[in-house]
Chains A and B, each alone.
Chain A
Protein backbone atom coordinates (compact mmCIF):
# COMPACT_ATOMS: atom_id res chain seq x y z
CA UNK A 1 0.00 0.00 0.00
CA UNK A 2 1.01 3.62 -0.42
CA UNK A 3 1.23 6.26 2.28
CA UNK A 4 2.26 9.89 2.08
CA UNK A 5 4.58 11.17 4.79
CA UNK A 6 4.83 14.88 5.50
CA UNK A 7 7.50 16.62 7.58
CA UNK A 8 7.16 20.01 9.20
CA UNK A 9 9.30 22.73 10.80
CA UNK A 10 12.73 21.55 12.01
CA UNK A 11 12.08 17.97 10.95
CA UNK A 12 11.43 19.18 7.39
CA UNK A 13 14.82 20.91 7.42
CA UNK A 14 16.54 17.80 8.81
CA UNK A 15 15.00 15.39 6.29
CA UNK A 16 15.44 17.89 3.47
CA UNK A 17 11.97 17.50 2.02
CA UNK A 18 8.44 18.30 3.04
CA UNK A 19 6.70 15.25 1.61
CA UNK A 20 7.30 11.79 0.17
CA UNK A 21 5.16 8.91 -1.00
CA UNK A 22 6.20 5.45 0.20
CA UNK A 23 5.26 1.90 -0.71
CA UNK A 24 4.95 0.03 2.62
CA UNK A 25 3.66 -3.40 3.70
CA UNK A 26 -0.13 -3.60 4.10
CA UNK A 27 -1.50 -3.05 7.57
CA UNK A 28 1.60 -1.69 9.29
CA UNK A 29 1.25 0.41 12.41
CA UNK A 30 2.43 3.98 12.91
CA UNK A 31 5.32 2.63 14.99
CA UNK A 32 6.38 0.30 12.18
CA UNK A 33 6.24 3.14 9.69
CA UNK A 34 8.52 5.17 11.95
CA UNK A 35 11.04 2.30 11.96
CA UNK A 36 11.00 2.36 8.14
CA UNK A 37 11.51 6.13 8.15
CA UNK A 38 14.43 5.87 10.58
CA UNK A 39 16.19 3.46 8.21
CA UNK A 40 15.43 5.64 5.23
CA UNK A 41 16.57 8.89 6.88
CA UNK A 42 19.40 8.25 9.37
CA UNK A 43 19.04 11.87 10.51
CA UNK A 44 15.67 10.92 12.02
CA UNK A 45 17.31 8.09 13.94
CA UNK A 46 20.21 10.26 15.11
CA UNK A 47 18.56 13.58 15.80
CA UNK A 48 14.83 13.06 16.25
CA UNK A 49 14.35 9.60 17.75
CA UNK A 50 17.73 9.47 19.45
CA UNK A 51 16.72 9.59 23.09
CA UNK A 52 15.68 6.60 25.19
CA UNK A 53 12.00 7.40 25.38
CA UNK A 54 12.35 8.13 21.72
CA UNK A 55 8.73 8.81 20.86
CA UNK A 56 8.03 11.18 23.72
CA UNK A 57 8.69 14.47 21.97
CA UNK A 58 7.61 13.59 18.46
CA UNK A 59 4.11 14.31 17.23
CA UNK A 60 2.47 12.13 14.61
CA UNK A 61 -0.82 12.76 12.88
CA UNK A 62 -2.81 10.64 10.49
CA UNK A 63 -5.11 12.40 8.04
CA UNK A 64 -5.03 15.57 10.13
CA UNK A 65 -5.60 14.07 13.58
CA UNK A 66 -3.17 13.11 16.31
CA UNK A 67 -2.65 9.38 16.26
CA UNK A 68 -1.43 6.66 18.64
CA UNK A 69 1.68 4.71 17.70
CA UNK A 70 -0.16 1.37 17.70
CA UNK A 71 -2.77 2.50 15.19
CA UNK A 72 -2.91 0.58 11.92
CA UNK A 73 -2.42 2.51 8.68
CA UNK A 74 -4.44 2.20 5.50
CA UNK A 75 -3.69 2.71 1.84
CA UNK A 76 -3.70 6.41 0.95
CA UNK A 77 -3.16 7.69 4.48
CA UNK A 78 -1.30 10.96 5.02
CA UNK A 79 0.99 10.72 8.01
CA UNK A 80 2.71 13.84 9.33
CA UNK A 81 5.70 13.91 11.64
CA UNK A 82 6.44 17.11 13.51
CA UNK A 83 8.08 18.59 16.62
CA UNK A 84 6.28 19.96 19.69
CA UNK A 85 4.16 22.88 18.53
CA UNK A 86 4.75 26.54 19.39
CA UNK A 87 1.87 28.56 18.03
CA UNK A 88 -0.02 31.35 19.70
Chain B
Protein backbone atom coordinates (compact mmCIF):
# COMPACT_ATOMS: atom_id res chain seq x y z
CA UNK B 1 0.00 0.00 0.00
CA UNK B 2 1.50 3.28 -1.10
CA UNK B 3 -0.66 5.41 1.20
CA UNK B 4 -1.15 4.25 4.76
CA UNK B 5 -2.05 5.57 8.21
CA UNK B 6 -0.84 3.10 10.79
CA UNK B 7 0.02 2.59 14.45
CA UNK B 8 2.69 0.06 13.55
CA UNK B 9 6.40 0.83 13.04
CA UNK B 10 7.36 0.86 9.39
CA UNK B 11 10.21 -0.60 7.43
CA UNK B 12 12.06 1.88 5.24
CA UNK B 13 13.56 -0.99 3.24
CA UNK B 14 10.09 -2.46 2.74
CA UNK B 15 8.80 0.90 1.53
CA UNK B 16 11.59 1.35 -1.01
CA UNK B 17 11.09 -2.22 -2.19
CA UNK B 18 7.47 -1.35 -3.07
CA UNK B 19 8.70 1.37 -5.41
CA UNK B 20 11.74 -0.31 -6.97
CA UNK B 21 11.67 -0.49 -10.76
CA UNK B 22 14.55 -0.67 -13.26
CA UNK B 23 13.48 2.64 -14.83
CA UNK B 24 14.19 4.55 -11.64
CA UNK B 25 17.54 6.22 -10.99
CA UNK B 26 16.72 7.93 -7.70
CA UNK B 27 14.79 7.30 -4.49
CA UNK B 28 14.50 10.25 -2.15
CA UNK B 29 13.39 9.34 1.37
CA UNK B 30 12.04 11.68 4.04
CA UNK B 31 11.77 10.06 7.46
CA UNK B 32 10.33 12.04 10.36
CA UNK B 33 11.22 11.20 13.95
CA UNK B 34 9.92 12.31 17.37
CA UNK B 35 12.47 14.86 18.61
CA UNK B 36 13.41 15.27 22.29
CA UNK B 37 12.86 19.05 22.33
CA UNK B 38 10.23 21.56 21.21
CA UNK B 39 10.23 25.34 21.82
CA UNK B 40 12.82 24.84 24.57
CA UNK B 41 10.79 22.17 26.36
CA UNK B 42 11.95 18.62 26.91
CA UNK B 43 9.63 16.25 25.02
CA UNK B 44 9.01 12.70 26.20
CA UNK B 45 6.47 11.61 23.59
CA UNK B 46 3.95 12.75 21.02
CA UNK B 47 0.37 11.57 20.94
CA UNK B 48 -0.99 11.71 17.42
CA UNK B 49 -4.72 11.82 16.80
CA UNK B 50 -6.15 11.42 13.31
CA UNK B 51 -9.37 11.55 11.34
CA UNK B 52 -8.36 8.26 9.74
CA UNK B 53 -10.71 8.06 6.73
CA UNK B 54 -10.02 11.62 5.66
CA UNK B 55 -6.31 11.47 6.48
CA UNK B 56 -5.82 8.51 4.14
CA UNK B 57 -7.96 10.14 1.44
CA UNK B 58 -6.02 13.39 1.71
CA UNK B 59 -2.66 11.57 1.56
CA UNK B 60 -3.89 9.75 -1.55
CA UNK B 61 -4.85 13.09 -3.12
CA UNK B 62 -1.39 14.52 -2.31
CA UNK B 63 0.23 11.48 -3.93
CA UNK B 64 -1.91 11.84 -7.07
CA UNK B 65 -1.16 15.55 -7.26
CA UNK B 66 2.58 14.89 -6.89
CA UNK B 67 2.45 12.33 -9.70
CA UNK B 68 0.88 14.84 -12.06
CA UNK B 69 2.89 17.90 -10.92
CA UNK B 70 6.40 16.39 -11.00
CA UNK B 71 8.29 14.14 -13.37
CA UNK B 72 8.40 11.30 -10.89
CA UNK B 73 7.72 7.60 -11.32
CA UNK B 74 6.06 6.88 -8.01
CA UNK B 75 5.47 8.08 -4.46
CA UNK B 76 4.72 6.48 -1.12
CA UNK B 77 3.33 8.27 1.95
CA UNK B 78 3.03 6.46 5.28
CA UNK B 79 2.01 8.24 8.48
CA UNK B 80 1.89 6.87 12.02
CA UNK B 81 -0.51 7.82 14.79
CA UNK B 82 -1.08 6.93 18.43
CA UNK B 83 1.54 7.32 21.17
CA UNK B 84 5.08 7.72 19.86
CA UNK B 85 8.01 8.18 22.28
CA UNK B 86 11.17 10.13 21.40
CA UNK B 87 13.12 8.38 18.67
CA UNK B 88 10.11 6.73 17.01
CA UNK B 89 9.46 7.25 13.31
CA UNK B 90 6.45 9.45 12.51
CA UNK B 91 6.20 9.76 8.75
CA UNK B 92 7.84 8.27 5.70
CA UNK B 93 7.71 9.71 2.21
CA UNK B 94 9.55 8.15 -0.70
CA UNK B 95 9.66 9.70 -4.16
CA UNK B 96 11.17 7.85 -7.08
CA UNK B 97 12.21 9.34 -10.41
CA UNK B 98 14.57 8.82 -13.30
CA UNK B 99 16.66 11.71 -11.98
CA UNK B 100 17.30 13.00 -8.47
CA UNK B 101 16.15 16.61 -8.90
CA UNK B 102 12.51 15.75 -9.52
CA UNK B 103 12.54 13.19 -6.70
CA UNK B 104 13.93 15.75 -4.22
CA UNK B 105 11.41 18.40 -5.28
CA UNK B 106 8.41 16.08 -5.13
CA UNK B 107 9.41 14.70 -1.73
CA UNK B 108 9.88 18.19 -0.29
CA UNK B 109 6.56 19.38 -1.74
CA UNK B 110 4.70 16.35 -0.41
CA UNK B 111 5.86 16.71 3.21
CA UNK B 112 4.87 20.39 3.17
CA UNK B 113 1.41 19.46 1.84
CA UNK B 114 0.98 16.74 4.47
CA UNK B 115 1.75 19.25 7.22
CA UNK B 116 -0.79 21.72 5.78
CA UNK B 117 -3.65 19.42 4.81
CA UNK B 118 -3.74 15.97 6.34
CA UNK B 119 -6.07 15.84 9.38
CA UNK B 120 -3.60 14.59 11.99
CA UNK B 121 -2.83 16.46 15.23
CA UNK B 122 -0.03 16.04 17.68
CA UNK B 123 -0.07 16.53 21.41
CA UNK B 124 3.38 17.10 22.91
CA UNK B 125 4.00 15.59 26.31
CA UNK B 126 6.81 17.67 27.87
CA UNK B 127 8.43 18.32 31.25
CA UNK B 128 6.34 21.52 31.42
CA UNK B 129 3.00 19.90 30.64
CA UNK B 130 1.04 18.64 27.67
CA UNK B 131 0.33 20.84 24.66
CA UNK B 132 -1.86 20.55 21.59
CA UNK B 133 -0.01 21.64 18.47
CA UNK B 134 -2.18 23.53 15.98
CA UNK B 135 -0.15 24.70 13.01
CA UNK B 136 2.59 26.80 14.64
CA UNK B 137 0.72 27.29 17.93
CA UNK B 138 1.27 25.39 21.18
CA UNK B 139 -1.86 25.31 23.35
CA UNK B 140 -1.90 23.84 26.89
CA UNK B 141 -4.17 20.83 27.08
Contacts and interface: CB of A to CB of B under 8 A. Distances in A.
A86 B57 contact: no
A86 B119 CA distance: 8
A83 B51 contact: no
B121 A88 contact: no
A87 to B, nearest CB: 3
B120 interface: yes
Nearest to A61: B54
B53 interface: yes
Interface in B73-132: 79, 90-91, 111, 114-123, 132
A9 interface: yes
> Nearest 4 A-B pairs (CB), nearest first?
A87-B120, A84-B135, A9-B121, A86-B133
Given A61-B51, A64-B57, 13 more contacts: A6-B51, A10-B134, A13-B141, A57-B134, A61-B119, A64-B54, A84-B137, A85-B118, A86-B115, A86-B120, A86-B122, A88-B79, A88-B90
Interface in A1-56: 6, 8-10, 13
Interface of A: 6, 8-10, 13, 57, 59, 61, 64-66, 80, 82-88
B139 interface: yes
Given A65-B57, A80-B54, A86 B121 contact: yes
Contact of A85 (B53, B91, B111, B119): B119
